[in-house]
Structure 1
């Protein structure tokens, strides 16, 4: 018995070989093969979104994909953040800032006291002629 494959799968295989950057994204785990196939079926071959996966796309497109990849990485890191740990770190930082502000206020009070005493000591001082 002959193993007949779905024609749309055969077209997708041809399509994916014409878009090596799409293969690269699949290999790097940025997109699954299933996702690529579903987009292929929904959008079709002629959709402009596939242009960025062609080997001769513009340098501007590569800059866009680089910044897009940066945003994707950033969102992945944000999704992995534990809100409780972030809150703990913020509270610790807030406490440290409060301590520094208290120290500065104490230094200012000490300095004002020092200058106030020296002025009051010299209030009755009159130099001799």
Structure 2
């Protein structure tokens, strides 16, 4: 197998990424692309503050985002409950109940009416399914 020789700057960038695994996580999360990171690395250099932010603020931001998301979820749920109209909710629940009843009726029809109220009847048919005639 022959491998293409990469440009020396690309080789240096790959080495930089190997030394900073948090950069890989940024790409996998979808926060950046390899092209963007390469261009920033090429223009700004390895000593830029951006690379320090990716390493240190990433974990703290994740924990903070997770706490905010939980808080936001609770406040959203509470806000929804405050905005609800009880009469409208009753109407929706009644509609859902009717829909479930209709579905149960259809299912029981397709099952042949074998509901608990209808006892199971053996299939009716001739006692001798094959009629043989003597010659």
TM-score interval (norm. to shorter): 0.3 to 0.5
Q: TM (normalized to structure 2)? A: 0.41
- Relative contact order, higher structure (CA 8 A, sep 6+): 1
Q: TM (normalized to structure 1)? A: 0.42
Which of the pair is proportionally richer in helix? 1
